[in-house]
Amino acid sequence: MFSAGESSGDQHAANMFLELKKYQPDIKGIGMGGAKMAQAGINIRYDSAGIAVIGVVEVIKHYREIRRALRLMQQMLATERPDLLVCVDYKEFNFKLARFAKQCGVKVLFYVSPQVWAWRPGRVKQYGKVIDMMAVIFPFETAYYEKQNVPVRYVGHPSVDKVHALYSKAEDMRRFDLDESNPVVGLLPGSRANEIRRMLPVMLAAAEQLQASLPDIQFILPQADSIADELLGRYLSEVPVNVSVVKQQPYDVIQCCDAVMTTSGTATLEIALLIVPMVIAYKLAPLTYWLATWLVKTPFIGLPNIVLGKSIVKELIQHEASAQNLSAEVKRLLTDTLYAQEMRDNLARVKQQLGQGGGSKNMAQLALEMLSGQAK
């Protein structure tokens, strides 16, 4: 049984299940997730698109639906008794689900560690009580769990395997009708509806400013599967900027870009793996941001910065995430050759740190070990 509450988790679970089927073709998967998991052959009992939210205020707004999803998943655990529950990220929800699974005598494998190194390190012990194994995707995370004697395995970051363009950059430039002689800027406003509402207007305003000073600039946006056409269209139709929207080809889009404006999250690591200069911008609801300033223990929110332990990509958070600041940083990336090259060099180091990949395959093997009682 799988529990994935967001777009990235949906993809990770799907990849893991496809690997599992290679080893054990008759294996069955059920649970909560999205389109990618369904395509992989998992029987989706609850579509998580409606509860893929982040932040205290947003969770409160969606509390009733999140609670309904949790009850449904708990009922499935109690009545169908899967051999293994795989919780993919979606921390608070999956913590409660894992605790219930343990009460039912169901083994729990937690995939993608909560970012205990960023906030609430004390939660390691609590997770240790409700899971049988924590699968971490960054090498430095194992130490937090080993210190508390919580079973942990470094499986590698799943993005390393999947972040590859399908075509060459020259082919993609033709396919997307982009002019190679003019700069291309990517807009990645997020994979959640509330991120689109909060970040896309700012990015589009920055695009307007960039277009005013660089008239030949081109903009392209890879649309996340979880985002409806209507939601994007509502904002794109309000600005005098032409933005090409491409579905289901994010890595081909990113490799065409000279610079990218992105929200924080997995996307920042994917851009890093493609070694494309970027600026990270993020806004939270005021209450969520206020709480985060008290709770978060890391100086960075961007994964490339966290992996290297230093600021290599500019982060514009909350009031700093303005159209003016965004456009200024993108313009610098497009016009300051040395600055852009230094960032590429650092992004190459991030890629090197993440290793050779094999995350989905390693996860499948770990799950099979747990199913056979051999995991240690």
SS3 248: coil
How distant, in Å, are the alpha carbons of 20, 46, 82, 368 from that of 16? 6, 19, 17, 11
Q: Do 190 and 279 belong to one domain?
A: yes
Q: Where are the beta strands (DSSP E) in the chain?
A: 2-4, 30-33, 43-47, 84-88, 107-111, 133-136, 152-154, 184-188, 218-223, 243-247, 259-262, 278-282, 315-317
Q: What's the pLDDT at 120?
A: 59
Q: What's the pLDDT at 6?
A: 85
The 10s digit of each residue's pLDDT in 350-374 is 999 888 889 999 999 999 999 998 7
pLDDT band at 129 (very low <50, low <70, confident <90, very high): very high
Q: Do 121 and 40 belong to one domain?
A: yes
Residue 150 located in a structural domain: yes
Average pLDDT of the chain, as a whole number: 91
**Residue 235 pLDDT greater than 70, yes or no:** yes
Give the Cβ contact number of residue 71 at 10 Å: 11
Q: Of residues 357 and 294, which shows the higher confidence score?
A: 357
Q: Do 136 and 149 belong to one domain?
A: yes
Residue 163 located in a structural domain: no
Q: Do 43 and 143 belong to one domain?
A: yes
In percent, the amount of the chain with pLDDT more than 90 equals 73
Residue 164 located in a structural domain: no
Q: Do 37 and 93 belong to one domain?
A: yes
Q: Do 187 and 302 belong to one domain?
A: yes
Residue 219 located in a structural domain: yes
Domain range for 336 is 169-353
Q: What's the pLDDT at 231?
A: 95
Residue 14 located in a structural domain: yes
Among 49-58, 273-282, 299-308, the least confident range = 49-58
Q: What's the pLDDT at 300?
A: 83
Q: Do 341 and 198 belong to one domain?
A: yes
Crossing angle of the two packed helices 91-103 and 63-80, in degrees rounded to 10: 30
Residue 100 located in a structural domain: yes
Q: What's the pLDDT at 139?
A: 83
Query: Which strand (E) or helix (H) includes residue 199?
Result: helix 193-213
Q: Do 82 and 95 belong to one domain?
A: yes
The residue-averaged pLDDT of 236-243 equals: 94
The 10s digit of each residue's pLDDT in 61-91 is 778 899 999 999 999 999 999 999 999 998 8
Q: Do 343 and 263 belong to one domain?
A: yes
Q: Do 53 and 143 belong to one domain?
A: yes
Residue 365 located in a structural domain: yes
Q: Do 330 and 194 belong to one domain?
A: yes
The residue-averaged pLDDT of 136-151 equals: 90
In percent, the amount of the chain with pLDDT more than 70 equals 92
The 10s digit of each residue's pLDDT in 82-127 is 999 999 998 889 999 999 999 999 999 999 988 765 555 678 889 9
Q: What's the pLDDT at 237?
A: 94
Q: What's the pLDDT at 265?
A: 85
User: The CATH number of the domain where 51 resides is what?
Assistant: 3.40.50.2000
CA dist 357 and 157 (Å) reads 6
Q: Of residues 79 and 265, which shows the higher confidence score?
A: 79
How distant, in Å, are the alpha carbons of 125, 138, 149, 256, 316 from that of 129? 7, 22, 11, 46, 37
CA dist 162 and 185 (Å) reads 22
**Residue 53 pLDDT greater than 80, yes or no:** no
Q: Do 149 and 251 belong to one domain?
A: no
Give how many domains the chain has, as a whole number: 2
Among 2-6, 242-246, 320-324, 353-357, the least confident range = 353-357
**Residue 55 pLDDT greater than 90, yes or no:** no
Q: Which residues contact 260 (CB under 8 A, 6 or more apart)?
A: 185, 186, 187, 188, 254, 271, 276, 277, 278, 279
Beta bridge partners of 280: 262, 315
Residue 105 located in a structural domain: yes
Among 158-172, 276-290, 328-342, the least confident range = 276-290
